[in-house]
């Protein structure tokens, strides 16, 4: 197994953070382009914010019905997946909380929303572990 010293690990971490930043910028650019395209296609009737909000609301409904229709036997693997997704949210929230506020083009709202996302994702992760532990306890033989 290859060993990595602290400098190499720090450099890999910086590269990963840069890749995450570039991916976030690309996603923002795609969302802006889609919102602008919808705005132009509707003749300026639909604001890009309304377009993004409608996608968010549709994602909530789709997620609700997908989770609600899963059989109870598959809840534990589903919880594992949602915990993995929540861990990605935690990474994004930590990046949002760690935004440099000394820059003039960054407001404090990203830090506030990052903190809220961090709290909700943490609740989801720890709640998922508790539910998974309880469900696994239901399958153990009683002594």
Name which of 121, 53, 112, 113 is nearest 82 in CA terms. Answer: 121
pLDDT mean over 40-65:
82
Q: What is the pLDDT of residues 70-118, one digit of tens each?
A: 777 777 777 777 777 888 888 888 877 776 666 666 667 778 888 888 8
Give the pLDDT band of residue 1 (cuts 50, 70, 90): low
Q: Given a cut of 60, is residue 55 above it in pLDDT?
A: yes
- State mean pLDDT over 39-63: 82
Predicted confidence at residue 104, as pLDDT, reads 62
Consecutive H or E run containing 80: helix 75-97
pLDDT at 103: 64
What is the CA angle 117-68-82, rounded to 5?
35
Is pTM beyond 0.75? Reply is no
Mean pLDDT of 115-124: 87
How many Cα neighbours within 13 Å face the side chain of 67?
12
- Note the pLDDT of residue 142: 74
Domain map of the chain by residue range? 7-69, 72-142
Q: What is the pLDDT of residue 97?
A: 78
CA distance 8 to 40: 47
* pLDDT computed for residue 105 by the predictor: 63
Q: What is the pLDDT of residues 8-39, one digit of tens each?
A: 877 877 787 778 778 878 887 887 788 788 77
């Amino acid at each position: 197994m290859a060993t990595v010293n602290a400098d190499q690990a720090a450099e890999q971490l910086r590269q990963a953070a840069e890749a995450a930043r570039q991916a976030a910028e690309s996603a923002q650019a795609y969302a802006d382009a889609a919102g602008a395209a919808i705005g132009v296609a509707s003749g300026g009737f639909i604001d890009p914010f309304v377009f993004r909000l409608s996608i968010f609301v549709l994602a909530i409904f789709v997620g609700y019905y997908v989770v609600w229709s899963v059989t109870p036997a598959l809840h534990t693997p589903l919880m594992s997946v949602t915990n993995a997704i929540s861990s990605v949210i935690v990474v994004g929230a930590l990046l949002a909380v760690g935004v440099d506020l000394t820059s003039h083009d960054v407001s404090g709202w990203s830090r506030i929303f990052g903190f809220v996302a961090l709290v909700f994702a943490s609740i989801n992760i720890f709640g998922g572990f508790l539910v998974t532990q309880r469900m696994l306890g239901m399958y153990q033989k009683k002594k």
